[in-house]
Structures are given as C-alpha cells and as structure tokens.
Amino acid sequence: MTSAKITAKDADLISCHSCHLLCRPAASQDRRPIRCPRCSATLHQRKPRSIKRTWALLIAALVCYIPANILPATIASSLGDVQTDTIMSGVIYFINTGMWPIALIIFIASILVPLLKLAILSFLLVSVQRRSTWRPKDRARFYRLTEAIGRWSMVDIFVITITVALVRMGAVAFFEAGPGLVFFAAVVVLTMFAAMSFDPRLIWDK
C-alpha cells in the first residue's frame, strides 16, 4: 500500500485532524488560522504547542494527585458514628469486609490507572523531547492505551454519586462526598486533557 516512508509534513500537506481530508494549505500571509475546506476545522500540522501543554496539564494533575489521596473522599455517618475514608482506606475497608472484587475494581480504577497514565505520558514526553527512535510502534501503542483506560478512573466518582443519592435516611444515616474527591476528579479531567493535547505524530517525527 505504501511506497516510501513520506509523511504529510514532509510533503507540505496537512491532514485535517477532524475529517482526515488531506489538504494543501495555501501560503497565508496574515495570521488567520487555515481552515479545512471540507469540515472547516482549524488545520495544523501538529497539535499546537503539544509538548508544553501536555507537560503543564500533567504537572497540574500530579499536584492534585497528592491531596486527592490524603484528603477524605467520603464521609459516612450512621447513628452518630462518623467515618471518613480516603480512596486507599476505602479500598482497605472493602478488603477487610470481604468484598475483594470491589476492592480490586476501585484499586485499579482509582489508583493504578491514574498512576499509569501519569507515568506513560511523562515517559512519552521525555522520549519525544530527547528525539528517541526507540520502538516507536510500541510507544504509539502505549499512547492508545492511555487514551482507552483514562475514562475508567471515573468509576469511584460514580459509585459515590449513587451512594450519596441512596443513603439519605434523615438523622439515622448519611453519606457525603469529601474534599479529596474534588481533587481526584481534577486528576481525572486533567490527565484526560493531557492525553488529548499530546500529539502521537511527534513520536514518529525526526
């Protein structure tokens, strides 16, 4: 299917990131953004300031990751007995009460996935900045993995939403979301934006 390894960038072409139409941009003197003739999305050869933006979002996520794990994520009270839990102590609580499948789901979604995303994206950024030629195909696969798994971090937030809605028995029992959950939500959203702002084509650029 392919002859030589020529990229659109080498050939001075731009592939529209939205409808994938291959465009030959006319040299524009003014600084107005060039738009795709088919779908009118703004055209750019690579995502603008991809590396800087991804680093900024990643560092912000890393900063939020600390309070997300230290501050309480949930506050439960039943008959005057108040119990606060962080994400990790929630996992331990599930193990202790014998609900290990739930503990496993929450552990993977809330602790493993965000860490994995932070690690993979940092690794990809460093490798691109050092112009590494190491296994580009595997690095591209890592990128696709971070895009696919990121959304599953939301599981804990949804569990807490449903519990908050159901457990509301006046003075007998209540269940509240804690400040840790806000930071955790910030980590999820920031890493999703970080993954979106990273341009996988940089892995292949020489």
Partner 1 sequence: MPKKIMIACHECDLLLWLGPLPPGTLARCTRCGAVLSRRRRRSLERTLALTIAGLTLFSLANLFPFMAMTMEGQYRQIVLLTGIKELYLQGMPEIAALVLLTTVVSPFLQLTGLLYVLLPLKLNRLTPAIWRVFRWVRYLQPWSMLEVFMLGILVAMVKLTKLADVVPGISLYCFLALIYVLAAITASLDPSRVWEKWREV
Q: For binding to partner 1 (CB under 8 A), which residues are involved?
A: 1-2, 5-9, 11, 13, 15, 17-22, 38-41, 94, 97, 99, 101-102, 105-106, 136-137, 140-141, 143-144, 147, 150-152, 154-159, 161-170, 172-173, 176-177, 181-182, 185-186, 189, 192, 196, 200-201, 203-205
Cα distances (Å, whole numbers) of residue 50 to 1, 47, 122, 160, 179: 30, 5, 13, 34, 31
Query: How many other C-beta atoms lie within 10 A of the C-beta of residue 130?
Result: 9
Distance CA 149, CA 108 (A): 10
Nearer to partner 1, 65 or 143 (CB): 143
Nearer to partner 1, 29 or 67 (CB): 67
Pairing state between β 74-78 and 81-85: antiparallel
Distance CA 140, CA 128 (A): 11
Q: Whole-number minimum distance, CB 40 to partner 1, in Å?
A: 6
Q: Whole-number minimum distance, CB 29 to partner 1, in Å?
A: 25
Alpha-helical runs (H) found in 20-154: 50-70, 87-96, 100-107, 113-129, 136-149
Q: Whole-number minimum distance, CB 182 to partner 1, in Å?
A: 6
Nearer to partner 1, 2 or 28 (CB): 2
Q: Whole-number minimum distance, CB 133 to partner 1, in Å?
A: 13
Cα distances (Å, whole numbers) of residue 30 to 33, 183, 201: 9, 42, 27
Nearer to partner 1, 35 or 62 (CB): 35
Nearer to partner 1, 16 or 29 (CB): 16
